[in-house]
């Protein structure tokens, strides 16, 4: 059942829907998409990533260090979904503190890709993507710092949308990198994504980064018949795998057949995006995660010798290896003598990246881009952290520039593994992003089953 269909159900049928969903979740527990089947309210069930505050839930960001913490309030997006007749229904597995591209670093164990249990579902919102793909969630909320909604959506064959930075309130989202994080919808189709996007969007005075700009609902105004100018970045696709290149060409032909104009552009190499992102994101992470000290909330080391021992052991025992790695990287680039050489330079490159997108958008309405260089990789295949970081090459520029983007499935490989692409739009022009995505979705006619 789609989100649109579920929202149209009479109230007395929602209980049956929830019961059926519980049964399917139990049957597919092998995927490990759900951390827990918590419930809050009796509305249409919506899966919530484990870094979004739901009052009374043990929200842990899939980390040992937050075991025992109970959220004392609802995030703004939770208030908004409840006002729209939805209800939080289960905590989705994720990479610890949203740091990862495979959902392998979770304290609760890895999530499996429902298309192939030997492959990752993507990350960090891997639990959300896998659950929607396996039909054990009608829809889900994820968060996207460098591709964490779009990449798992592509790997699992669903739709994942990252809004413009500031369009959706971050109040109540566990902070990883505050200037990059955004909450967004993960759904079965583009229309559902537009519906959920409308529900969670809007200005919030509690979030200092929330944009106080005019907002018009997208879903009632969807127009897949609009003719758009869509840019393709020729030098980007050259580094992608053959299956992604094939899907890219299929999408271009489908868009042209729908009457859209394809224009060819080139951009600065993605290696600059990666360098800038992993400096800025880790620097902000080192600051944001300093609050987890064993004093205020969550897990703490037992029988410390003194305060310093409490801090050291709580953080050493509580954080996983990838989180520790990023905290150390972030602390290094912010340290005396390195701030100018690394962090300040990365911010300048970020400005160049933003300008590059703006230059392309002078001639185009949207940009068509890969989401990842390949389809879902096997567990353990990206054991080298640098190799894992390089897999984010196509998504992180969108976060650095604060742009909206949507990932949708284009085709399946011979082994049934989905291949997705993304459409990137101008700041606060989500209407065009969804219109273009709906047109592409209809044109490629991806078959879910």
Q: What is the pLDDT of residues 190-230, one digit of tens each?
A: 999 999 999 999 999 999 999 999 889 999 999 999 999 99
In-domain check, residue 22:
yes
Any domain includes 287 = no
What pLDDT is recorded for position 25? 98
In a domain, 285, yes or no: no
**What average pLDDT does this structure show over 65-75?**
96
Given a cut of 90, is residue 270 above it in pLDDT? no
Sheet holding 140-144, edge to edge: 34-39, 86-92, 44-49, 140-144, 182-187, 159-162, 405-412, 418-424, 366-370, 229-233, 261-265
Name the catalytic one among 101, 128, 148, 369.
Answer: 148
> Binning pLDDT at 50, 70 and 90, where does residue 336 land?
confident
128 assigned to active site: no
Mean pLDDT of 51-71: 97
Residue-range definition of the domain harbouring residue 194: 3-267+354-444
Residue 269: its pLDDT value, please? 77
Across 414-425, average pLDDT: 97
110 part of the active site: no
Question: Per-residue pLDDT for 36 more than 80?
Answer: yes
Residue 359 lies in a domain: yes
Whether the per-residue pLDDT at 296 is higher than 90: the answer is no
- Residue 4, Cβ neighbours under 10 Å: how many? 18
Average pLDDT rounded to a whole number, residues 242-259: 97
Active-site residue identified among 101, 124, 128, 286: 124
**Is 124 one of the catalytic residues?**
yes
Residue 239 is predicted with a pLDDT of: 87
Overall average pLDDT of the 47-56 stretch? 98
337 is a domain residue:
no
Average pLDDT, the chain: 96
193 is a domain residue: yes
d(CA 373, CA 360): 22
pLDDT at 47: 98
Q: Is the pLDDT of residue 449 over 80?
A: no
Say if 328 falls within a structural domain: no
User: Which has the minimum average pLDDT: 18-22, 32-36, 265-269?
Assistant: 265-269
How many domains does the chain fold into? 1
Q: Which of 49, 162, 412, 426 is catalytic?
A: 49
| Percent share of the chain, pLDDT over 70 | 100
Residue 121: give its domain's CATH number: 3.90.1300.10
pLDDT of residue 16: 96
pTM of the predicted model over 0.85:
yes
> Which residues, including other chains, have CB under 8 Å from residue 444's CB and lie 6 or more apart?
250, 251, 254, 410, 411
In a domain, 44, yes or no: yes
pLDDT tens per residue, range 134-161: 999 999 999 999 999 999 999 999 999 9
Taking only Cα atoms into account, the Rg of the chain, rounded to an integer number of angstroms, comes to 21
Degrees, nearest 5: CA angle 93-94-96:
125
Q: Residue 327's pLDDT is what?
A: 97
Give per-residue pLDDT as tens, 176-193: 999 999 999 999 999 999
């Amino acid at each position: 059942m789609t989100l649109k269909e579920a929202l149209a159900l009479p109230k007395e049928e929602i209980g049956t829907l929830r019961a059926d969903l519980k049964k399917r979740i139990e049957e597919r527990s092998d995927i490990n998409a759900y951390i827990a089947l918590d419930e809050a309210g009796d509305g249409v069930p919506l899966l919530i990533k484990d870094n979004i505050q739901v009052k009374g839930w043990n929200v842990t960001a899939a980390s040992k260090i937050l075991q025992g913490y109970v959220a004392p309030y609802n995030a703004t997006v939770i208030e908004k979904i409840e006002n729209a007749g939805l209800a939080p229904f289960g905590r989705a597995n994720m990479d610890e503190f949203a740091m990862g591209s495979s959902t392998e670093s979770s304290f609760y164990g890895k999530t499996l890709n429902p298309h192939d249990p030997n492959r990752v579902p993507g990350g960090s919102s891997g639990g959300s993507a896998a659950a929607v793909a396996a039909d054990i969630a009608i829809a889900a909320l994820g968060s996207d710092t460098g591709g964490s909604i779009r990449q798992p959506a592509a790997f699992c064959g669903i739709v994942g949308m990252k809004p413009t930075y500031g369009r959706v309130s971050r109040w109540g989202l566990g902070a990883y990198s505050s200037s990059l994080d955004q909450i967004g919808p993960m759904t079965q189709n583009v229309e559902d994504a537009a519906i959920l996007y409308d529900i969670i969007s809007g200005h919030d005075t509690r979030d200092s980064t929330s944009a106080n700009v005019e907002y018009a609902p997208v879903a009632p105004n969807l127009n897949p018949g609009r003719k758009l100018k869509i840019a393709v970045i020729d030098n980007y696709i050259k580094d992608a795998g053959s299956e992604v290149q094939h899907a890219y060409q299929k999408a271009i032909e489908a868009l042209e057949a729908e009457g859209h104009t394809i224009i060819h552009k080139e951009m600065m190499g993605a290696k600059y995006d990666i360098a800038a992102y992993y400096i800025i994101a880790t620097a902000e992470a080192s600051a944001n995660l300093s609050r987890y000290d064993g004093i205020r909330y969550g897990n703490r080391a037992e029988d410390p010798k003194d305060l310093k021992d409490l801090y050291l052991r709580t953080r050493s025992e509580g954080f996983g290896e990838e989180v520790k790695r990023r905290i150390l990287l972030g602390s290094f680039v912010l340290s005396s003598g390195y701030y100018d050489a690394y962090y300040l330079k990365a911010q300048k490159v970020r400005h160049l990246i933003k300008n590059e997108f703006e230059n392309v958008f002078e001639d185009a309405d949207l940009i068509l881009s890969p989401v990842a260089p390949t389809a879902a990789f096997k567990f353990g295949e990206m054991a080298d952290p640098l190799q894992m970081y390089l897999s984010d090459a196509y998504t992180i520029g969108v976060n650095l520039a604060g742009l909206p983007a949507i990932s949708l499935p284009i085709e399946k490989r011979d082994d049934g593994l989905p291949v997705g692409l993304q459409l990137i739009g101008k700041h606060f022009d989500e209407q065009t992003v969804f219109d273009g995505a709906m047109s592409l979705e209809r044109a490629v006619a991806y078959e879910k089953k």
